[in-house]
Amino acid sequence: MAALVGVAAPHVIRALGGYQMQSLGSSLSPPHTIFGHNVPITGDGFLLLAGAYFPGLPASAQTWFVMLHAVGLALAALGVALTAWRFFRGEALVPQLLLAGIVLNVAAYALGTHAIILPNTREMAPVLPLSAALAGRQLPGLLAGRAPAVRAATAGVLGSVLAGYLAGLGLELTAPTAPPQNERLAAWLTEHRLGTGLSGYWQGNVVTLTSGGRAHVRPVLVRNGRVVPFTSNVRTGWFDPARSSADFVVLAPAIHSYPGFTKRKAVIATFGEPARTYHVGPYTILRWHKNLLAP
């Protein structure tokens, strides 16, 4: 009975206007992409997962505390290396399973099509807790039987690193809070009450959330030189001209590895010349006196 309900429920939800599940959309990247792009960005992803990603950061105390997290990454790598060395030499089942999980997650990410930009490292996020658990199981055994002086020195070094982590946490807690992404755009759209518009995936979702739903920006993309609705994490009613309308498009630059929406030529080719153009900081807002959703 439970199996029948599980099969039937998605069809009922879809018929009532609810969500529609799509395929995973993942595939194997070509060899030149794997070795020329995916592998390097996966390496940077390890730094990001460990909180140790420092490339491009200015020389400051905060950057030093970030770099200190590389110690944790090194300990995790040591735990992985020890388990790999002992894997076929009588290693216990739990470490073997942890290592298998790490290898499968990294391989799926590095060989697939999701390793596009650094923030996509979240696709292999399970590597962080798995490697931490593995290091916690393996490293104490590495010190067993060592001279007391060696154990004391190791404890002192790790204690200093932990103190550095706590100091870095305190520094971050006292730093000024960064404003929400696209806050300026959200505030301008809310103030001028433009209604509903279109933009890229990141700009659409962030602006709508930041404004508390007072400004609506629906996600679109460019395909074959034309603007078309985004196909995932959306409601079909957003793009139905009988139920919704949109009269502006936001052009936005890329921010911190997140892609922007800058395809002005495709926007003009799809909707024609705008009636008005506004400039708000780095954003350009094109407005029409018509429903852009209408065919």
pTM score over 0.85: no
> CB count, 10 Å around CB of 120?
15
The sign of the CA dihedral 32, 37, 42, 44 is positive
pLDDT tens-digit series, residues 201-237? 888 888 888 888 888 899 999 999 999 998 877 887 8
> Token pair 């894997």 is at which residue?
87
Domain-by-domain residue ranges, the chain?
31-174, 183-287
- 229-247 pLDDT, tens digit each: 988 778 878 888 888 899 9
Per-residue pLDDT band at 248 (split at 50, 70, 90): very high
pLDDT score of 21: 63
